A and B are shown apart, each in its own frame.
Chain A
Amino acid sequence: MKDMVFDESIILLDLEADSKEAVLTAMANNLEEKGLIKASYLEAVIEREKEFATGLPTGGVSVAIPHTDVEHVIQKTISVAVLENPVEFGMMGDPDEKVNVQLVFMLAMDKSDSQLSLLQGLMQVFRDEETLKYLVSETDKKKIVDVLKNKLDFTF
C-alpha cells in the first residue's frame, strides 16, 4: 500500500466558491493534477454528497468531510480547504437541514477499513473548537500541515 500524501500541496487556503459543487470541484481538480485520484472521483463525490451529505455542525467552525468509494482513489490523502466565505452543505443524517461550512476535509482513502485511527484523530479535531478556529485563521500552509500531522495518525 502506498503512503499517505499529506503536504502543503493539498492544502487550499482562502478558497473562493459559491457552492459546494464548486468547492468539491476545486479540491478534486487539485488532487487529480497531483495524480492522487482518478478523474471519476469528482463526479462520484458530487453525487455522493447529494445523496449523503457530509456537513457537520461542529462547535465554532462547521466542517464537511466529502468522500467517496475507494475505487476512485489512486493514493490516499486528505485534502484540506479553508473557504473564503462559508458555503452551504447538507447536514449529515438530516437531508433537509443545511450547515454553513468553512473548513472542508476531502477524504481520499484507498482501503475501506484501515484508517480508523486516522478518522478518530479527525473526530478529535472536530470536537476541539480552538483547533478548528486556528485552522481557519492560519495563513501558513506549512503550519497547518504540522498541526494536523501532530494530531492525526498517518502511520496506518
Chain B
Amino acid sequence: MKTVLVACGAGIATSTVVNNAIEELAKENNIKVDLKQIKISEVGAYADSADLLVTTAMTQKEYDFPVINARNFLTGIGMEDTKAQILEELKK
C-alpha cells in the first residue's frame, strides 16, 4: 500500500479538500492507500516512509518521492489531469 502525504501550509483548509478527493479517487479505482494529512513543515518526518506528496504548498525542497501540486483541486481547472497524475503514481 502506498503512503501518500497530503499537505498544506497550516494543515487546516486546503489539505482537507485534497485528502478527501484522493480518498474518493482511490476508492473509485479500488486502490488501497494510506493517506496522511499533515502540515508541509512535517514532511521531513515522513521522508523515509512516504511514496508521494500531494500539496498546495509547494516547497523548494527536494524529496526522494514525487511531489504533485494540488492547486487544481481547488480551482477545478485541469483537475482531471492532476487526478490522472496521482493515479499513475498510486498504480506504480
Contact = CB atoms under 8 A, between A and B. Distances in A.
Contacts of B73: 123
Interface residues of A, number: 28
A119 B16 contact: yes
A93 B69 contact: yes
Interface string B7-36: 011111110110010000000000000000
Contacts of B71: 56, 91-94
Contacts of A94: 58, 69, 71
A108 B58 CA distance: 23
Nearest to B40: A52
A112 interface: yes
Interface in B55-91: 55-58, 60, 69-71, 73-77
Interface in A106-129: 107, 109, 112-113, 115-116, 119-120, 123, 126-127
Contacts of A35: none
Contacts of A95: 58, 60
B77 A116 contact: no
Q: How large is the interface on B (under 10, 10 to 19, 20 to 34, 35 or more residues)?
A: 20 to 34
A93 B75 contact: no
A56 B73 CA distance: 11
B5 to A, nearest CB: 15
B9 A48 contact: yes
Contacts of A126: 74-76
A120 B69 contact: no
A58 B69 contact: no
Interface in A59-101: 59, 65, 67-70, 91-95
A51 B5 CA distance: 19
Q: Which 5 A-B pairs give the minimum distances between C-beta atoms?
A: A52-B9, A127-B76, A93-B58, A93-B71, A52-B57
Interface of A: 48, 51-52, 56-59, 65, 67-70, 91-95, 107, 109, 112-113, 115-116, 119-120, 123, 126-127
23 contacts: A48-B10, A52-B8, A52-B10, A56-B71, A56-B74, A58-B77, A59-B75, A65-B13, A69-B12, A70-B12, A92-B14, A92-B56, A93-B57, A93-B70, A94-B71, A95-B60, A107-B12, A109-B13, A112-B12, A116-B20, A119-B16, A120-B17, A127-B77
